[in-house]
Structure 1
């Protein structure tokens, strides 16, 4: 498996920033088929230019690498967007 980071398109990254700004509760679908319900906190970029979404759930905070996210769906009422597909793939 190729583990090189593949950056998201800038227009898709904007949805993540909006979710973090408003602390949306999100349903996140991962490329491996797992689904999470988390609160969006912030985005992070490492020195090696990998980008992550920092989220929180009942178990605590965790980082999700952006190129491993299939889609996000806001669960917060009145959110400014609906389901957004971030990557190709999935189940």
Structure 2
């Protein structure tokens, strides 16, 4: 069973929206310790939980936002740097 969803702060959610709007390639850090690179596609809400959809090559995956600890845009000229979403 998954733990209850813990929403991220609204100001941090804005960075995810910007990443999706510009299709930034991100370095994503997960609470599990895993890191990977992927393109930000979109965010969505389902059943009170928020998700980020990422594309890595041909694969598209969704991650619950409280499972993501940080994102760093890899595109030159990105409008923000590394953002920590969860401690």
- Which bin holds the TM-score, normalised by the shorter protein? over 0.9
Judging by fraction of residues, say which structure has more strand.
2
Structure 1's consecutive aligned runs of 4 or more residues displaced over 4 angstroms after TM superposition are none
TM-score of the aligned structures, taking structure 2 as reference length: 0.96
Deviation string 1:11-54 (CA, Å, 9 cap, x unpaired) is 000000000000000000001100010000000100x1100000
2-structure distance, mates of 1:36, 1:3: 23
Q: In structure 1, list runs of 5 or more residues that go unmatched.
A: none
Rounded to whole Å, the distance in 2 between the matches of 1:35 and 1:73 is 11
SS in 2 for 1:80: coil
User: TM-score under structure 1 normalisation?
Assistant: 0.92
Q: Alpha carbon RMSD of aligned pairs, Å?
A: 1.2
Q: Which sections of structure 2, spanning at least 5 residues, go unmatched? A: none
